[in-house]
Amino acid sequence: MAKGGFYVRIGNGKSKSQHIYAGNMAMVHLQVAKSLLDGNGNAAGQVYFITDSDGSNFFRFYDAIVVAAGYRIWPGNLWIPRPLAYCLGTFAELSAWLIRPFKKITPKFSRFAVTYTCSDFTFSSARASGDFGFKPKYSPEESFNRTVEYYKKAK
């Protein structure tokens, strides 16, 4: 979407989600492995939610990266309300299902995409910090800058 430029947002811009920089995700794997090898069994068999920043709106998060990487977003501020977007997702899925006997199509717009981007998905890494000392290696600013540089090179 960034390369094409046409970019619509779903919802009202208030839902929040959290992300983690790939370098920090790699680091958490090393941290938990080291903890287990050092005999700390707290993390054994546990499931953790890991994040390295506060929650923000899904689209505002990606907008900042897309614009900083030098891509143009148009229209500048088009938001489709959640109920309308959900109907469009249903229609896209139904259309794909009807066409499926002739050609397999996976719609890029779906009810799942609407639900995911219009619902709050936030969590805490506090348990990971306590159990095996999780600490992000890269700050949110450095993560952002590294991500932008990656997409500038891919442009």
* Within-domain flag for 23: yes
How far apart CA 31 and CA 37 sit, in angstroms, is: 10
pTM strictly above 0.85: no
Asked if the structure places residue 76 within a domain, the reply is: yes
Domain assignment present for residue 32? The answer is: yes
Note down the domain range covering 21: 9-80+122-154
Backbone angles phi, psi at 10, to 5 degrees: -115, 140
CB 10 within 8 Å of CB 113: yes
CATH number at residue 136: 3.90.25
Task: For residue 117, give both structure tokens.
Answer: 């981007």
**What pLDDT does 6 receive?**
81
Q: What is the pLDDT of residue 73?
A: 85
Main-chain phi, psi angles of 9, to 5 degrees: -110, 155
Does residue 63 belong to any structural domain of this protein?
yes
Asked whether the beta carbons of 69 and 151 are under 8 A apart, the reply is yes
Tell me if 140 is assigned to some domain: yes
Mean pLDDT in order along the chain per 10 residues (155 residues): 81 92 95 94 92 89 92 85 96 96 92 93 92 93 96 86
Cα 113 to chain centroid, rounded: 11
Tell me, yes or no, whether 107 lies in a domain. Answer: no
List beta partners, residue 10: 80
The beta strand positions in the chain, using DSSP E, are 9-10, 79-80
pLDDT at 2: 76
**Residue 106 falls inside a structural domain:** no
What's the structural domain count of the chain?
A: 1
Question: Is 96 among the domain residues?
Answer: no
